Amino acid sequence: MALDREIAEEAWVQYSREYDRYAKLSRHVAAVCSELIEPAGIQATIQYRAKDPASFHRKLLRYLDENNEEKINRVKVARDALDMMGDLAAVRVATYVEADRGRVVELIRARFRGPLADGAVDVDPKAKETGYRATHCQVLLPVDLLSAPDVKNIGDTSTEVQVCSMLAHVWNEIEHDMRYKLAIPWGDEVALRDQTLQDFREAADVGDTCIEALLGLRSERIAVSLSVAIGGQLDGVTDFASNGTAVLREFVRLGYSTQGQVETAFLNDGSVERGRALIGRINVAFEVGGIPAELRLNPTNADVLFALLLERHCSDLTALYEQQLARGTALRAARIAQAAKETRALTQEPA
197 found inside a domain: no
Number of independent structural domains in the chain: 2
Same domain, 34 and 171: yes
Same domain, 162 and 251: no
The percentage of the chain sitting over the pLDDT mark of 90, rounded to a whole number, equals 64
Distance of alpha carbon 56 from alpha carbon 50, whole angstroms? 10
Task: Examine the pLDDT at 238 and tell me if it is beyond 50.
Answer: yes
pTM over 0.75: yes
Same domain, 175 and 229: no
pLDDT score at 126: 84
Band the pLDDT of 328: cuts 50, 70, 90.
very low
Distance of alpha carbon 280 from alpha carbon 118, whole angstroms? 36
CB atoms inside a 10 Å sphere around CB 256: 23
189 found inside a domain: no
What is the per-residue pLDDT across 107-125, written as a single tens digit (0 to 9) for each? 999 999 999 999 999 999 9
Distance of alpha carbon 59 from alpha carbon 53, whole angstroms? 10
What is the per-residue pLDDT across 251-261, written as a single tens digit (0 to 9) for each? 998 889 999 99
Measured between its terminal Cα atoms, the distance across the chain in Å is: 43
What is the per-residue pLDDT across 122-153, written as a single tens digit (0 to 9) for each? 999 987 777 788 999 999 999 999 998 889 89
Same domain, 165 and 214: no
Rounded mean pLDDT, 243-257: 92
Band the pLDDT of 294: cuts 50, 70, 90.
confident
123 found inside a domain: yes
Same domain, 77 and 163: yes
29 found inside a domain: yes
Per the CB < 8 A criterion, the answer to whether 288 and 250 are in contact is no
* Whole-number average pLDDT of the chain: 89
The percentage of the chain sitting over the pLDDT mark of 70, rounded to a whole number, equals 95
How many Å is the Cα radius of gyration of the chain? 24
CB atoms inside a 10 Å sphere around CB 330: 12
Q: Which among 150, 184, 218 is the end of a domain?
A: 184
What is the per-residue pLDDT across 14-30, written as a single tens digit (0 to 9) for each? 999 999 999 999 999 99
Same domain, 218 and 132: no
C-alpha distance from residue 297 to each of 259, 302, 332 (Å):
24, 9, 12
Same domain, 337 and 237: yes
What is the per-residue pLDDT across 295-320, written as a single tens digit (0 to 9) for each? 889 999 999 999 999 988 888 888 77
Band the pLDDT of 339: cuts 50, 70, 90.
confident
Rounded mean pLDDT, 217-233: 92
Task: State the residue range of the domain holding 305.
Answer: 204-346
Coil/strand/helix, residue 14: helix
DSSP string across 78-108 = HHHHHHH-TTSEEEEEEESSGGGHHHHHHHH
pLDDT score at 334: 67
pLDDT score at 145: 94
The CATH number covering residue 39 comes to: 3.30.460.10
pLDDT score at 164: 94
192 found inside a domain: no
C-alpha distance from residue 234 to each of 132, 279, 303, 311, 316 (Å):
47, 15, 11, 17, 24
Same domain, 20 and 72: yes
Rounded mean pLDDT, 172-192: 84
Same domain, 94 and 229: no
Same domain, 168 and 236: no
Rounded mean pLDDT, 174-195: 84
Same domain, 150 and 208: no
